[in-house]
């Protein structure tokens, strides 16, 4: 089981208005591959509703709402995708942890969730996770 960060969806689906750099093109291809493997049931992943909300809030600006709803609902229907709720207390604790780790609250929430659930790997393009002990960032 790996944690699936919101930015994987953003790289996979968002259609930028500017020309992508070679690095960004590679990241987009990696993101599409990850999403494809998850969609086909080849990869077990977990995420929180907070991270799923990040996906919706960004992608709603670049795709029809019907398509966005289809993507979100499709994730809920996949047996290999575990989407967990987040309590007020958990988000508060993650925000405090973020201060200690120098991470924004949502990234700290991912770290806290991973630690509590013994998840060691995260699919993310956010290099801030590279400095977090006990977590390996993929791809």
In tens, the pLDDT along 25-41 reads 999 999 999 999 999 99
Token code pair at residue 74: 């499709």
Whether the full predicted model's pTM is greater than 0.85, yes or no, is yes
Of 93, 125, 87, nearest to 111 by C-alpha is 93
- Quickly state the pLDDT bin for 131 (edges 50, 70, 90): very high
15 has pLDDT over 90:
no
Domains: count for the chain: 1
CATH number at residue 62: 3.40.50.1010
Range of the domain at 128: 2-138
Distance between CA atoms of 114 and 110, rounded to whole angstroms? 6
Distance from the Cα of residue 117 to its chain's centroid: 16
Q: What is the pLDDT of residues 53-69, one digit of tens each?
A: 999 999 999 899 999 99
Q: What angle do CA 69, 74, 126 make, to 5 degrees?
A: 85
- Quickly state the pLDDT bin for 14 (edges 50, 70, 90): confident
Q: Is 35 left (phi over 0), alpha (psi -120 to 50) or beta?
A: alpha
Token code pair at residue 117: 């659930």
- Quickly state the pLDDT bin for 108 (edges 50, 70, 90): very high
């Amino acid at each position: 089981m790996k944690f699936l960060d919101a930015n994987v969806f953003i790289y996979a689906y968002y259609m930028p208005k500017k020309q992508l750099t070679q690095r960004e093109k590679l990241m987009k291809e990696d993101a599409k591959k990850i999403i494809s493997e998850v969609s086909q049931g080849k990869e077990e992943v977990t995420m929180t509703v907070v991270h799923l909300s990040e996906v919706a809030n960004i992608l709603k600006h670049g795709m029809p709402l019907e398509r966005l709803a289809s993507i979100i609902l499709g994730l809920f229907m996949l047996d290999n995708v575990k989407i967990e709720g987040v309590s007020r207390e958990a988000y508060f604790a993650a925000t405090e942890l973020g201060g200690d780790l120098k991470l924004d609250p949502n990234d700290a929430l991912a770290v806290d969730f991973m630690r509590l659930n013994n998840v060691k790997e995260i699919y993310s393009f956010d290099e801030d996770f590279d400095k977090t002990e006990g977590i390996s960032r993929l791809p």
